[in-house]
A = this chain, B = another copy of it.
Amino acid sequence: MTAQFTRADLDRRDAADPLRVFRDAFQLPENVIYLDGNSLGPLPKAAQTRLQDVVETEWGADLITSWNKHGWIDMPQRIGAKIAGLIGAAPHEVIAADSTSINLFKLLAAALRLRPDRRVIVTEETNFPTDLYIAQGLARHLGGDVELRMVARDKILDALDVDTAVVSLTHVDYRTGAMHDMADMTAQVQAEGALMLWDLSHSAGAVPVDLNDCGADLAVGCGYKYLNGGPGAPAYLFVADKHLAAFEQPLSGWMGHAAPFAFDPDYRPADGIAQALCGTPSILALAALECGVDLALKADPALIRRKSMHMGELFVALVEERCGEHGFALASPEVPEHRGSQICFRHPEGYAIMQALIARGVIGDFRAPDILRFGFAPLYLCYTDLWGAVDVLRDVMESGAWDDPAYRTKATVT
């Protein structure tokens, strides 16, 4: 096979990359090629400074007065409004709060109230586990009244009927990177009278999302992946304007009250998206998230998508070209337009191979049962990072270095 790429080609691509200025905004460790930003984004340098200020000045010096003085009380709305700009939503439709899991519970419960004559939740059996678990917990909690249909990816539309209240899907599959056609799926779901709920955890910040252009009803997403909001960053949720008046969610904590500091004994929901709040949010976590979101807002989403697609194509080509004989099978869609910002390969020794890569500073991750997952975050990755990663992969395979008992010991978190 004739080499399609050389290292020099990639140097040229980096030199011409309009997004290359963003790399310097992140604190990336030396000697690491980080292809796991879809699991935990790296530290924005601005977050380091901001957190120091929040800790020393706001918490340390100004204490309780910071809720007003430094606008802590408005952070969920303020950051939500910023995230809206990344997902094609209006500022008043998005709020930063809690975790993706908890926000899923709120929105699935709300969807059942918005469609009171329909009691079925449809989802994909390969959806991210917490999306499935939360729907299972909600259905069980509500008793026999609610049915959860977990179906194969190509059977989603067949599963819809007049009982379907809501379809809950993740836009970009966490394991394969396969991306749903959001506009088409939303339209087909709504044609059956159901609501469409999108989990944007593996898309926002890396692939263009336009919820309102697609007419989506509800959405949730994660702050610690492509938004680079820090480990366990707060998540966010979206409720389309058309549903805000009737929106009602069961986790009715004081921060979602119309007047939390009136200390009324009766819950009276805040108008609009603020009703989605529950308890007191972590200010440290929100402050870090805001820095990540601010960075993402500075980048042109079209450039991000273009670079992400280039990186995916390049990585597939490099692995085929340089590691073609080592049994990697592409687990992501063949067509670049159908992929999110990651490339996955199946390999029977995937776990050990990934551990060998990590030991050599190429950080991707493994997803059971046999998937090596490589995420491409266009804000801070270089094209030459991909060359370096495939270099190490080739070395690990050709030397047989992956075949080491140390790489077979499963860690708690994979």
A residues near B (Cβ < 8 Å) are 27, 29, 32, 34, 36, 39-40, 42-43, 47-48, 51-52, 55-56, 58-68, 72-74, 98-102, 105, 109, 125-126, 129-130, 132-134, 136-138, 140-142, 150, 175, 224, 230-235, 249-257, 260-267, 278-286, 288, 358, 363, 365, 367-368, 411-414
Contact = CB atoms under 8 A, between A and B. Distances in A.
Contact of A99 (B63, B263, B279): B279
A280 B55 contact: no
A44 to B, nearest CB: 10
What 8 A-B pairs come out closest when comparing CB atoms? A99-B279, A101-B253, A137-B252, A101-B279, A141-B250, A67-B413, A130-B254, A231-B283
A232 B282 contact: yes
Contacts of A129: 254, 257, 260, 263-265
Contacts of A233: 282
Contact of A235 (B62, B254, B279, B358): B279
State how many copies of this chain the complex holds. Answer: 2
A132 B231 contact: no
A215 to B, nearest CB: 27
A99 B253 contact: yes
A301 B412 CA distance: 36
A98 B138 CA distance: 18
A29 B283 CA distance: 19
A66 B412 contact: no
A124 to B, nearest CB: 10
Nearest to A133: B267
Contact of A36 (B63, B102, B363): B63
B368 A262 contact: yes
Contacts of A61: 27, 29
Nearest to A112: B141
A249 B62 CA distance: 38
A48 B60 contact: yes
Given A265-B129, A279-B101, A251 B134 contact: yes
Contacts of A140: 250, 252
A64 B63 CA distance: 32
Contacts of A281: 99, 232
A39 B367 CA distance: 43
A260 to B, nearest CB: 7
